[in-house]
Amino acid sequence: MEKPTEDTYVAEFVSVTKQLGALLGFDAEFNRKTPSGKPDIIIYYKNKPVAVIEVKEPKIPLSDPSLNEQALRYADWYRKNRDVLFYGIHNMKYLNLFKFVQKEQREKTLLDFIEGKKTLWVPVSNFPFKIIPWAKSIDDYKQISTNNRAQENLQDFLLKFKEILEGKTLDLSSDVIEAIRRYIEEGANRGLTKFEDMYRRNEENVRELFEAWRSERGLDKPKNDSQLREFLGLMIKEQLYTFSMKVLFYLVLQSIDAEMAAKLKENLASVEPSDPLIFKRIFDMLFAYAIDKTGDFEEVFGTNTVDKLPLVDATLQSLKELISYLSQIRWSEINVDVIGRIFEGLIYTERRHLLGQHFTDTAVVDLILAATLKSPGRLIDPACGSGTFLVRALNYWRAKYGYKKENYQFIEGIDIDKLASMLSKINLYIQAIKEIEDKIKYYPKIRHSDFFKEMLPPEFSYVTTNPPYTRQEEMAMAFYDKEYKKWLDETVEDIPDWSKRASIYAYFLVKGAKLLKEAAD
């Protein structure tokens, strides 16, 4: 039997597309007359050729700049010779689709801060469409016709492509957040039994690390095996979410830094071994390199309790698939607000509930800031979450008063949740890409701390926040401090007849008001 090639997969893809796309108005053709000399896929919609898809092997990442440059040259050839305005690059795992536009029509991305060639071929979506994410080589070509998930993914792509052809705009950021969550949840579920066994045997200090983590979270000792398993599950989930956030931020940074990109490429080639120890060591080295390279982000890439936990065999497959997925995305071409939205979505549900977190829609934030802000001045968000108020304040001042690098120094934030403070720091850093490209050091003024323990002077022009809305008891549990009410009482000790049943947000309002310059006058 002959070894399968890209041609083999193209034929299989065409056959399945004909079957799945017929009711949607699609057809497909195996095309040999190509500028590359290798067969491509031509997609028809209502009997008219609308797209060409070039197939690559799974080992070739779609984020490779040289791949995209070559592909878009071919795309121009098809546009001129076949009047096709859509061009796709597909490595069996994922599919990137580009559209030719008559004039440049794209949102602000990281590339706006980097010199580079502009093109009239723009991605139809910030993120690739998944087809066979688990494909390892061309030998998996039959998956497109035999695997139900692969066929569902292809059908979903055709449905979305139909919407695009009908003039609709796609936002796949929620799909990306959901995909990341799914990989993490699957990894946590797969690894839980092994972690429980390691806890009982106290292998690799898992029991001591669990006790340290439990103490940090203010959790009581588990009452029974069921609660122990629940807590272990939360700990693993936090481990995987934290790891994923570090990987994602590294990918964003390396998209604008050639040295970091080279280091990443060198190390990603080494993650195939199934030894969890080697896998973890590789990424620990990458994260240490990122701290050294940026001169900052110890808070993001540094080690905390969950980072000291071992990775287990059962979670590796999910993590590898997640890394493969994130590596397909060209982060430098994605709108900075979309990147922020993805990081924001990485705070998992249980944690968000305890913290009373309700992330504010940017349209609402913009409305509040437009009614509040005047000229640039010192601004703080005492419950900054992922930094939406801080980022939008910078954008507001930039739009109204023009770009001024000193505005970044006015912005400060505090959050009790380490994950949230990491997100805020990341999002501000992304906004400051221009400064970073100009070799100006920028260290976002974000503190991982308890706002009510902070001794801050009344020197702020603005205090803007969406404080947590939750009961004091839940905040005490989430904030890892059993004496939390003591700090709240000190905040309002000068207010007679203050109700002890007041919600947390009321205390934020009182302390926030005391930070304003006018409050001291």
SS3 letters across 367-417:
HHHHHHCCCCCCEEECCCCCCHHHHHHHHHHHHHHCCCCCHHHHEEEEECC
Is 44 a residue whose pLDDT tops 90? yes
Q: Which of 290, 308, 333 is the last residue of a domain?
A: 333
The three-class DSSP label of residue 464 is coil
Does 505 reside within a domain? yes
Give the span between the Cα atoms of 151 and 17, in whole angstroms.
9
Give the span between the Cα atoms of 353 and 334, in whole angstroms.
29
pLDDT in tens, 358-377: 556 677 888 889 999 999 99
Distance of CA 31 to the CA centre of its chain: 37
Is 79 a residue whose pLDDT tops 50? yes
Q: Which residues have a Cβ under 8 Å from the Cβ of 461 and sit 6 or more positions away?
A: 377, 378, 379, 410, 516, 517
Specify the DSSP element, H or E, that contains 226: helix 225-254
Q: What are phi and psi of 129, to 5 degrees?
A: -85, 135
What is the rounded average pLDDT of the residues 141-167?
92
pLDDT in tens, 247-292: 888 887 776 666 777 776 666 655 565 688 888 888 888 888 888 8
Give the span between the Cα atoms of 511 and 147, in whole angstroms.
58
What is the rounded average pLDDT of the residues 43-70?
86
Q: How confident is the model at residue 482 (pLDDT cuts 50, 70, 90)?
A: low
Q: Which of 279, 308, 333 is the last residue of a domain?
A: 333
Task: Output the pTM of the full model.
Answer: 0.68
Residue 427 sits in the same domain as residue 400: yes
Residue 122 sits in the same domain as residue 264: no
Residue 251 sits in the same domain as residue 379: no
Specify the pLDDT at position 330: 72
The number of domains in the chain is: 3
pLDDT in tens, 415-443: 887 777 877 887 887 777 666 556 667 77
Q: Which of 304, 333, 362 is the last residue of a domain?
A: 333
Does 202 reside within a domain? yes
Nearest to 31, CA basis, from 22, 17, 42? 42
Structure tokens at 51: 């797209």
Residue 163 sits in the same domain as residue 185: no
Give the span between the Cα atoms of 304 and 38, in whole angstroms.
50
Does 341 reside within a domain? no
Maximum alpha-carbon separation in the chain:
87
Does 339 reside within a domain? no
Residue 435 sits in the same domain as residue 475: yes
More confident residue, 411 or 448: 411
Nearest to 273, CA basis, from 319, 239, 240, 307? 319
Residue 90 sits in the same domain as residue 203: no
Residue 362 sits in the same domain as residue 464: yes
Does 502 reside within a domain? yes
CATH number at residue 118: 3.90.1570
**Domain coverage including residue 264:** 174-333
Does 338 reside within a domain? no
Give the span between the Cα atoms of 213 and 55, in whole angstroms.
47
Specify the DSSP element, H or E, that contains 31: strand 26-31
CATH number at residue 370: 3.40.50.150
Any alpha helices (H) in 129-219, and if so which ranges? 143-146, 148-165, 173-201, 206-217
Residue 499 sits in the same domain as residue 368: yes
From the number of C-beta atoms within 10 Å of its C-beta (0-12, 13-18, 19+), residue 82 rates as middle
Residue 82 sits in the same domain as residue 185: no
Q: What are phi and psi of 497, to 5 degrees?
A: 60, 30
User: Under a CB-based contact definition with an 8 Å cutoff, are residues 41 and 174 in contact?
Assistant: no
Strands 94-100 and 86-90: antiparallel
Does 340 reside within a domain? no
pLDDT in tens, 109-153: 444 444 444 558 888 877 889 899 889 889 999 999 999 999 999
Distances (CA, A) of 92 to 26, 111, 451: 20, 27, 49
Does 342 reside within a domain? no
Residue 423 sits in the same domain as residue 507: yes
Lowest-confidence range among 58-72, 448-462, 485-499? 58-72
Residue 28 sits in the same domain as residue 132: yes
Instruction: For residue 1, give the amino acid letter.
Output: M
Compute the Cα dihedral for 348, 125, 250, 337 and give only its sign: negative
Residue 329 sits in the same domain as residue 397: no
Distances (CA, A) of 45 to 38, 148, 265: 23, 24, 38
